[in-house]
Structure 1
Amino acid sequence: MDQFPIPPGQGSGFNGAGRRICELLRSQIADGTLPAGARVPSTRALAADLGVSRTTVTAAYEQLAAEGFLVTSVGRVARVASPLAAAAPSDSGTKRRVRAAPSLSAFGRRVAGIEMPGLAPAEPCRVDFLYGAVAARDFPALVWRREYQAKLRHHQRSLYYVAPEGDASLRRALQGYLRRARGLACDAEQILVVHGSQQAIDLCARLLLDPGDAFVFEEPGYLMARRCFEATGAKLLAIPVDAQGLDTARLPRDDRTRLAYVTPSHQFPLGGVLPIGRRLELLDWARRHRAWVVEDDYDGEFRYGQRPIDALQSIDTDGRVIYVGTFSKALSPQLRLGYLVLPPELVPVFRQAKRLADRHAPVLEQRVLASLIDSGVYERHVRRTRREHERRRAALLDAIARHLPGDAGVTGTAAGLHVVLWLPFLRPQDEPALVDAVRGKGVGVYPVSPLFAKPQSPLQPRPAGLILGYASLTVEEIQQGMRTLAAVIAARGSEPNSR
């Protein structure tokens, strides 16, 4: 057998030397040096040959036998398995054969065909107006750590799965919080804890839509939600929004429309608040068509200058609204905790689907959050961060007014953690070049056009737009970022044929 370097005195058991013995024997089996049925050296002989302990060789042989490369038995010489029970790995230099496209389900083919913007670059910008990012310094780390350690020390007789709907302590805490903060009265049994609002939307899509159905969606709207619904094979019905949110006068009359997705408290991304007349019209439409309304309350806690608008579900008397809440904006998107408030008849099937998907959300985090809500810490944290966000928002609006051309416009300022900046002197097709140029200066800004489902109409042209999140930035960074954006826009304006 070929020699290979194994330092002596490596100890016993399946260590680094044992792994190298396995690799050597696998390669010799693969290249035919040790054909099927051939004897392999005894453990004693190979140990002496390689300068390792016999225990190490024995452990390597046992590993190869478990993988199906060798056949061993007490008192008999080990042999190469015949026929081999496991294929040997190919040599790294061997050219791989071209594989055919994978066989996928219809759902899989639809998912594979979905176009999505890339994730945020791994290398962050010096100043990044990334929507959905919040400041790490705002996270209540001290109280979270204290509560987490307390829950970790709490004695449990055993560790096992909990109910798919979530820990009872968090659902009870949410029941009280939603009544206080969002005007929403529900039973704890109606609440389902999920991995953020994205899982909530995915469950709604898969449980409520079939291929051939249709769904109403805001135009423009939240791209990740639209893609979830489209992946079911349902037909998109994009309904325009205006300064007041979804234009309910344009709701379809087709009874195949099974679902409407809305962001009524702060339309994403344009920021309109759905007035009471349109809310009632939407609920009446859902009742008449027996359609579900998915209410995504993604940042309803952050309204400035007045009390947050009550949830749409708070005035739903027919049980047609599914409320989606999240802790991503108030605490952290990395926490991956959100929840659904379901009409009672949907509770069993949503629990079952959650159980099939991933059993349940992380338990310790749920219990920590329940303690923070019950103690009042969470609501004090929300009030504090609301003041911080209001200060950042004011800084952004001031910087836009101070540094950008006077015809630049801003929408969505009354609530939330982002604004949309409209640049009427540029076209939507100018957005990618502008974004790249600004990123080249170390500032991240993001185009609004991907949030529109329909191409721009020549009869109703819209200007270029940027969605600017400000929740993760300092006042100084906001000012610096807008100065950089202004400089890039000014440079573009001085270029020949810049339009």
Structure 2
Amino acid sequence: MGTIFKGGNMININPKSKEPLYSQIYNQIKQSIIEGRIKSGEKLKSKRNLSKELSVSVNTIDTAYGQLVSEGFIKSVPQSGFYVCDIESLDIINFDKKEIKKNITEQKENNNYIDFSLYGIDIPSFPYTSWKKLIREVISLSPEEFLKTSPSQGEFSLRCAISSHIYIRRGVITSPDNIVIGAGTDNLMEILNGILEKDCKIAMEDPVYSNSYRYFNRMGHKIISVPTDEKGVITDNIKNIDNTALYITPSHQFPLGITMPVSRRIEILKWAKKGEKRYIIEDDYDSEFRYNSKPISSLQSIDRNGNIIYLGSFSRSISPSLRISYIVLPEKLMETYKENYKDTSCPVSRLEQLVLEKFISSGQYEKHINRMRKIYSEKRDYTIKKLVYEFGEDISFYGENAGHHILFKIKNYKDEKEICKKAFLNNIKIYAVSDFYKGTVPEKFKGAVMAGYGNLSFEDIEKGIKILKKSL
């Protein structure tokens, strides 16, 4: 089955393929835009017309178009349709996939509080049975298999499993030889501190994840705050600064929830390419959790100059207490790492690494992610539903349909600190967006607050929102 776009571009779909129909349509339109066969400004066929021509449901087209909109390849114009975005200089990127190398919460002060934590997970959904079984399997091995220390980069089998997973799910192109296992994000920051030059400046998106800001600040690096707009970070104030590492969360900006479109991603890659000793630290902290489209490809997946330092963790997807994270280093930094860390051992126990490797390699991790995505999606929808029920048209929401928290504003409330204070006095914890800004808070986000839902039951979500309403 196929249909032709303007200029003779054919979309062919195969109903018998294991690849979902929406993904086939999305990938073919995306590739046509990248290769210039569908031009900037060109109007795409309506969802209804395209669904008829391809003999698929409108929902299938809606999902494909939604993914293209999220990534910035097309835009929706109200009352008009979908148009191809103006994407500059795609020729600097080779989008062909490279073959992967084969060698390859803080304790509550009062139990009566309902804490809409931004970092909480659904504890009852932890895969206890599977995890216990895997622990028994590992312990049944000879003691030397799990009691001896690991090499500095971590277990090779775990690095292979991670390499395969992030290639399939995030498009990250790397060998296990370029992956380093760490004990949480703070440990990864310490590793980075030992690799980057002492006078390397750290440019950080504003607003920013506070813990990362504190880590780099404590290590003595000069920090430059870089503003964001509706597309993500803007590099104007660092365009002429070399020996700089730019820290960003492009797939789901924390805390605003922005997904960086491909046009802005290309601008950032150009910035890194133009200067000396410029790196981009891509913190991919919760990319697994998008609820109306598949995960956005990583920035690393389109970098062909070796300027991306990619950070990942299992804190959101499995549990913060697991304390296993990883960093993917470009070749030019791997040599420095090996020289500086050749006499160290991995800070994560071999037992935990082997259990996690089996969890990933057996396919159980993928099943767990899919299950958690459904749970968090339902919690998100329920939280929004209850907020709308209590506040009606006085509430407005911001950010993508993703992650573990919701950002919102309530009409006639300009002081977000006052909202949080009133809620706290009634045993409700919500969080002010302004706490994550290092510079001036834009007018758009004055009065904005955030509520997480990952760690709460549906009953607590409803109860907490009712109390919040009464508090204001």
Cα offset for 1:435?
2.4
Question: Is the 1:264–1:312 Cα contact (8 Å) retained in structure 2?
Answer: yes
Cα offset for 1:351?
4.9
Question: Is the 1:263–1:295 Cα contact (8 Å) retained in structure 2?
Answer: yes
Match of 1:372 among 340, 359, 366: 359
**Which aligned pairs between 1:260-409 and structure 2 lie closer than 5 A?**
260-290=246-276, 291-351=278-338, 359-404=346-391, 406-409=393-396
Change (3 A) 1:412 1:358: farther
In 2, the alpha carbon distance for the partners of 1:125 and 1:256 equals 50
For 1:198, the aligned partner's letter is: D
**Unaligned residue ranges in structure 2 (runs of 5+):** 1-104
Change (3 A) 1:398 1:162: same
Question: Is the 1:210–1:232 Cα contact (8 Å) retained in structure 2?
Answer: no
Q: Does 2:459 align with 1:476?
A: yes
Q: Does 2:168 align with 1:184?
A: no
Cα offset for 1:456?
4.2
Question: Is the 2:184–2:325 Cα contact (8 Å) retained in structure 1?
Answer: yes
Match of 2:425 among 429, 440, 458: 440
Change (3 A) 1:297 1:145: same
Question: Is the 1:205–1:228 Cα contact (8 Å) retained in structure 2?
Answer: no
Match of 2:405 among 418, 431, 447: 418
Specify the alignment match of 2:207 in structure 1: 220
- Deviations 1:403-450 (CA, angstroms, capped at 9, x unpaired): 12533322224211112122352334x51x432332332322122212
For 2:239, the aligned partner's letter is: R
What TM-score results when the alignment is normalised by the length of structure 2?
A: 0.73
Change (3 A) 1:377 1:445: same
For 1:480, the aligned partner's letter is: K
Match of 1:454 among 439, 444, 456: 439
- Deviations 1:207-260 (CA, angstroms, capped at 9, x unpaired): 32534x432211111011112222333333222222222134x25223345110
For 2:383, the aligned partner's letter is: L
Match of 1:404, SS state, is helix
Q: Does 2:468 align with 1:465?
A: no
Question: Is the 1:412–1:418 Cα contact (8 Å) retained in structure 2?
Answer: no
Question: Is the 1:171–1:191 Cα contact (8 Å) retained in structure 2?
Answer: yes
Match of 2:382, SS state, is helix
Specify the alignment match of 1:130 in structure 2: 117
Cα offset for 1:486?
1.1
Question: Is the 2:134–2:355 Cα contact (8 Å) retained in structure 1?
Answer: yes
RMSD: 2.3
Specify the alignment match of 1:234 in structure 2: 221
How many pairs does the alignment contain? 366
Deviates more, 1:132-141 or 1:464-473: 464-473
Question: Is the 1:190–1:344 Cα contact (8 Å) retained in structure 2?
Answer: yes
Question: Is the 1:354–1:360 Cα contact (8 Å) retained in structure 2?
Answer: no
**Unaligned residue ranges in structure 1 (runs of 5+):** 1-117, 490-499
Change (3 A) 1:309 1:360: same
- Deviations 1:15-57 (CA, angstroms, capped at 9, x unpaired): xxxxxxxxxxxxxxxxxxxxxxxxxxxxxxxxxxxxxxxxxxx
Question: Is the 2:309–2:330 Cα contact (8 Å) retained in structure 1?
Answer: yes
In 2, the alpha carbon distance for the partners of 1:456 and 1:390 equals 29
Deviates more, 1:404-413 or 1:380-389: 404-413
Cα offset for 1:355?
6.7
Larger radius of gyration: 1
Question: Is the 1:163–1:360 Cα contact (8 Å) retained in structure 2?
Answer: no
For 1:468, the aligned partner's letter is: A
- Deviations 1:249-295 (CA, angstroms, capped at 9, x unpaired): x2522334511001010000001111111111101101112301000
For 1:271, the aligned partner's letter is: G
Question: Is the 2:152–2:344 Cα contact (8 Å) retained in structure 1?
Answer: no
Specify the alignment match of 2:470 in structure 1: 487
Deviates more, 1:328-337 or 1:400-409: 400-409
Match of 1:464, SS state, is coil
Cα offset for 1:145?
0.5
Change (3 A) 1:356 1:334: farther
For 2:233, the aligned partner's letter is: L
Cα offset for 1:350?
3.1
Match of 1:238, SS state, is strand
Change (3 A) 1:472 1:352: farther
In 1, the alpha carbon distance for the partners of 2:117 and 2:341 equals 30
Question: Is the 1:125–1:444 Cα contact (8 Å) retained in structure 2?
Answer: no
In 1, the alpha carbon distance for the partners of 2:452 and 2:335 equals 37
Specify the alignment match of 1:203 in structure 2: 191
For 1:194, the aligned partner's letter is: G
Q: Does 2:236 align with 1:253?
A: no
Cα offset for 1:185?
1.9
Match of 1:132, SS state, is coil
In 2, the alpha carbon distance for the partners of 1:153 and 1:396 equals 44
Specify the alignment match of 2:34 in structure 1: none
Change (3 A) 1:357 1:442: farther
Specify the alignment match of 1:493 in structure 2: none
Cα offset for 1:347?
2.0
In 1, the alpha carbon distance for the partners of 2:345 and 2:451 equals 34
Cα offset for 1:481?
1.2
For 2:246, the aligned partner's letter is: A
Cα offset for 1:125?
4.5
Percent identical residues: 28
Match of 2:393, SS state, is coil
**Which aligned pairs between 1:18-167 and structure 2 lie closer than 5 A?**
121-157=108-144, 159-167=147-155
In 2, the alpha carbon distance for the partners of 1:253 and 1:270 equals 24
Cα offset for 1:137?
0.7
Change (3 A) 1:124 1:281: farther
Change (3 A) 1:185 1:253: closer
- Deviations 1:162-193 (CA, angstroms, capped at 9, x unpaired): 10101111101111111111111210101101
Change (3 A) 1:124 1:264: farther
Change (3 A) 1:269 1:351: farther
